[in-house]
Amino acid sequence: MQSPGDTAISRRGILAGGAASAALTTVPFGQAEAQGAAAAGTRQQDKPTTMKVSLKVNGATRTLDVDTRTTLLDALRENLHLIGTKKGCDHGQCGACTVIVEGKRINSCLSLAVMHEGDAITTIEGLGTPDKLHPMQAAFVKHDGYQCGYCTPGQICSAVAVLDEIKAGVPSHASASLTGGFAASNDEMRERMSGNICRCGAYSNIAEAMAEVAGDAFEEAKA
């Protein structure tokens, strides 16, 4: 029987020592120090980086101090309270967040606010008002181009930009020529609007609304 002063190695001591040795061999030299430094750096970066950005939204210059990770969509909705622009998929796949930037439509969920310093941005609120609707808004109402209405702001912004694209001679996959000269045909408009999803299925009504706004150009395309 061992006395308290004996230094004999027990089975439990051997197992504990072996486990400690194995743990040490799995950590490369210096990794513990690196992990500690990384943790300290993370703590220092807990405070988000912000930046001032000036945007010309619906004709008015707005200056914001935003987290550099803030999307244009979130800046419009959360900072400027322009909630007409909708957050759908937040992955650039549904088109609900479409706005017009410098005359071109973009998915605002895929673009950072700080990337648009000085840019002119038009949201659904900037196209028209209840008392003075934009022609495209009025056409959507007339042709029942919406049902639940969630995708409608993005649909209308995209539709307005689509007709401007056609007028400017910007080709699409449906264009027979890449050099312009095409009109607002049904195929052209449907192809260009394919990135805007309507889960209610009001596509034919949307096409009719766009055709009315396109007017003579659409009639020429059908002839």
Question: Which sequence spans correspond to the domains of the chain?
Answer: 48-127, 128-223
Cα separation values, 139 from 25, 84, 175, 207, Å: 72, 18, 25, 10
Cβ-proximal residues to 166 (8 Å cutoff; 6+ apart), any chain: 182, 183, 184, 188, 189, 192, 214, 217
Considering only CA atoms, which of 136, 102, 211, 55 is closest in space to residue 220? 211
- Is the Cβ–Cβ distance between 99 and 123 less than 8 Å? yes
pLDDT of residue 47: 79
pLDDT at position 216 over 60: no
- Round to whole Å and give the CA distance between 150 and 124: 12
pLDDT at position 219 over 60: no
pLDDT tens profile 169-200: 888 888 888 776 778 889 999 999 999 999 99
- Round to whole Å and give the CA distance between 203 and 194: 10
CATH class assigned to 128-223: mainly alpha
Other Cβ atoms less than 10 A from the Cβ of 147: the count is 14
CATH class assigned to 48-127: alpha beta
| Alpha-carbon radius of gyration of the chain | 29
- Is the Cβ–Cβ distance between 180 and 116 less than 8 Å? no
pLDDT of residue 54: 98
Mean pLDDT of 114-141: 97
> Residue 132 has which token pair?
């003075």
Give me the amino acid identity at 172: S
Q: Is 212 helix (H, G, I), strand (E, B) or coil?
A: helix
